[in-house]
Each structure stands twice: as C-alpha cells, then as structure tokens.
Structure 1
C-alpha cells in the first residue's frame, strides 16, 4: 500500500542537532498512523504533543479518504503519560474540550486503534482506553501509577477502566498502581489482539483494513449510538438509536449494501 508521510511543525533535537517532530502522521491506504515521537522522554505528553495529537485527529476526521486511525509510540514505547517535568514548568497536557493529549475527551466519528508496544503508563494507558480498539504486544505494560504520586488517573482511567473490566480487577489496578502485561491485558479483555513484540502496528493496520471494508456511515453510526447509550436509560438509548437508524436507512450506502448482498457482490461504498 502507498504511504504518505505528513509531519507537524519541526523543532530541533538539542542533543543531536537533527530536525525532530514530537508527533507525526503516516497514511497507509485508508488508515492514518499517528505516532508520538519523543523516545528520549518515553513519548510522554506535554502541551506541544497534546496540540499535535489534536491536529492529527482533525486530519483523520477531515479526510474522507481515511476510514480509521492507529495511535502508537516511537521506538518501542507507547507513552509514559504526562510529562512531569513539563507539568512542573506549568505546561498543561490537555487541550480544552478534548482532554488529556487532545484525545481522551475528543468526540470522534472514525474508529481509532491503539497499537501498544512497551509501556502505556498513566496518561499513556488513558490514551489507549480512549481508543475504540487496542492491539497490544505480549510484553507491553499497562498501568495507572498516579496513586503512587499522590494523584488519580484523571484523564479517563478512573472513569473508563471499571467500565471495561470487572470492578474488583479495575480497583486493584487503580488502588495499587501496579502494571499488568499485554498478555494479562488480553486475558482481562482490555486488548482485542495480543501479538508478539514488534507486531502491534502491523496487526492494528490489518484490523483497520477489516473496518474499512464496511460502510463508513455505518461505522460512524455505531460509534454514535454507543456513545449516546453510555450511562443512559435503555428507553432513551433506543430512542437515540431509532433516530440514527432512520437516517442511515435513507443513505445511498445502505441501499448499496442491500443491493450488493442481493447481487452477491462486494459493495462499493461512497460515504453518502
């Protein structure tokens, strides 16, 4: 598949003198790979990284040729979370209205897959939890160690983790601050795929291709209904779903999907 590389604003690596970016994007087919690239800082998130991640998500949302995104980190580490040195200088790793890293509270219409190698700690774990799917290397590590530093996992960890795994297991991770391996994350149901080290991004791309084979408006509708149903009474959730389904049934893609099934061929989606 053809790949196009797009980078954020360049700065200079003070140690090497080379041009460097904190976040870069790479288009692979209909998937946008978003990479946090601060390996010397364990891909931790400062104000600049948060702003660039928000911009990358805007790129994903705005391009009709992109069907899904993959979020990962450079050189074998997903993200160590908040850049504590930057925080002590007064920098915020949040983007107003979009949360930690410009990701954890962002409203997205397209699927986002976390490809986790190495450490996903604190806010890094919360970035993964904000994604729709997670692919983890077997030897990856997921943890929310905030309580060890007098804090809580306020970027979505305390809210989302008990919704993803059994309460008592979530509380163990939140209250001890101890990490679990990628293999254990798979056992807990946190990871959709557990793969050998170095295979998280390739597997995430394969998963993105499977998503891209489906109607883009239907994928958006699934995400919208799931979001509307979260924490709402069942009757209200069904009401929201009926509104979305009625709109979906009137689209050209819905008619194409049914026609293609009747004609025993693959559908040709237009996103209309």
Structure 2
C-alpha cells in the first residue's frame, strides 16, 4: 500500500485500487505511484495484466491541486507523471463503477480496456468550467469514439452513462454495479491466459496512444490551459461548481 493506492494480486493479474474515497482525486504523487506499479509489472514476467479499480463513490473525479501547486504548475507536474502511464507494455484495464470526471476521465481513457457498471458516468466537464481538456483526452477520446463524437462530448460537456459508453466505444464491457469487479477480473484473466509474447506482438501491431503521442497532446493541452487558467470564465466555472449552480460565462 502507498499513499492513495492499494495493490493486491490475483494470479497473473495485479489489482491496483485508487484509495482516496469518496472521489479519488489524484495528484502528481499518486500518478507517479501508479506509473511505478505499471513499470514494476512490466519488469515482472509473472504479471500479465494490471486492473485499475477504485474505492468509494467515484472512479476518479480528477486532479486535486490542493495537494500540489495550483494552476499551470500543478497541471505540468500532473501531466509529467500522466505521460508515464502510456509507456507501459502490458495491458491495463480500468473498472469504472462511478463518475470519471475531467482528469479522471483521462485516467480511464489511458487504459487499454474499460469495464463500466450501469452507475458509471464518463464526463468531459472541461468546457463547463471554462477550461481546455487535459490528460491527453484530445488524443485518446477521438481514438476511441471518433472525431465527431469526441467533438460532441467535449463541446456539450454532457455526462455519458455506462450503457451509452458501451454503445459508443468508451467501454468494452458493461456490468451490473454489484458484479463490476467480477466482470473486470474475468476480462483480465481471459487476457492473462494467453501467450505473453503474442500479446506483446498484438499490442505493437495495433494503433495505440503511446507515451510520446500522449506527451505531445498534453504539451499542446497545457498551452491552452495556461491561457484559460487566467480567465474570469475559468474562475466563474470553478466557483459555480463549488456552489452547485449554473455558471454565468462572459467570454473573458
């Protein structure tokens, strides 16, 4: 166990749980710990698959800049660690049983597969708070659902439930809430039962957002976010969210 992460083992599957309930906000340190686990799993021939799950009500509600530098410096530190997640060699499955919001959506999309429960909510909320998308979502989301549907989700900032996520390609499996862990672990075991060299060859052959692509996407996202962090609309978006009211944006 490390700060915000609990790791267990089920045969050839390593299960990592986000353990900052109820919402599992991340910071750079938590992402660094997760990247370290993935690197260790890559180096261990007895590990075939990593399963990322979560405690609490949310899968992950995004970044918690209260634990680090706020604004652009906080985002830069987070993205430096987030880029490491895309450097893994072995399959990563995310079990999403609640809201995956903002950067939490980015974390879910960084996985190779997503198993969603009916209670899952995939929410690219950036425009709703006056901010540009981050966590390489500008690369991962269109790769999964297509450019036009990604444009829809990013510009409307609407929530996508588990059933719709499975329909449009955000989720690969749909499970009842009470069976989410079981279904996700079954997928992990199905993958882990296959030949590791063949799995590695398949991973190399198929299109995938790798570390370099993710880092480039986050660098471009960071430039846009740097400008928007300084706007009155962003301050209003954050304030409105905390006050649970509709924002009043003025385009400045």
* TM-score where L is the length of structure 2: 0.76
* Structure 1: 5+ residue stretches without partners: 1-6, 9-20, 231-272
1:56 aligns with 2:49: no
Which one of 209, 213, 216 corresponds to residue 196 of structure 2?
216
* In 2: Cα distance, 1:193 partner to 1:180 partner: 15
SS at the partner of 2:90?
A: coil
Give the Å deviation of 1:37. Answer: 0.6
Give the whole-Å Cα distance in 1 for the aligned partners of 2:200 and 2:57: 31
Number of aligned positions between the proteins: 207
1:44 to 17, 20, 25: 25
Q: Distance in 2 between matches of 1:159 and 1:91?
A: 21
Contact 2:39 2:88 survives alignment (8 Å): no
- The one-character-per-residue Cα deviations of 1:148-178 (angstroms, maximum 9, x if unpaired) are 2222222121222112113332211101111
* Residue 227 of structure 1, CA deviation: 4.2
Q: Tell which structure's C-alpha radius of gyration is larger.
A: 1
Kept after mapping to 2: 8 A contact 1:152/1:158: no
Indicate yes or no: 2:155 matched with 1:175. yes
Gaps of 5+ in 2: 211-252
Greater helix content: 2
Tell me what 1:99 maps to: 82
Counterparts of 1:1-272 in structure 2, within 5 Å, are 7-8=1-2, 21-40=3-22, 42-86=23-67, 87-88=69-70, 91-92=74-75, 94=78, 96=80, 98-99=81-82, 102-103=84-85, 106-227=86-207
What is the Cα-based RMSD across aligned positions, in Å? 2.1
State how far apart, in whole Å, the 2-side matches of 1:72 and 1:213 are: 20
| In structure 2, C-alpha distance between the alignment counterparts of 1:134 and 1:46, rounded to whole Å | 22
Higher relative CO (Cα under 8 Å, sequence separation at least 6) belongs to 2
Shift in Å, 1:228: 7.4
Whole-angstrom distance in 2 between the partners of 1:187 and 1:144: 17
Q: Which residue of 1 aligns with 2:230?
A: none
Task: Go from structure 1 to structure 2 and tell me whether the alpha carbon gap of 1:137 and 1:229 turns closer, same or farther (over 3 Å shift).
Answer: closer
Find the aligned partners of 1:229 and 1:212 in 2 and give their Cα distance: 22
Displacement of 1:137 in angstroms is: 0.4
CA–CA separation in structure 1 for the residues paired with 2:16 and 2:10: 11
User: Alignment partner of 1:71: what SS?
Assistant: strand
Q: Secondary structure at the match of 2:26?
A: coil
Cα 1:49/1:187, change in 2 over 3 Å = same
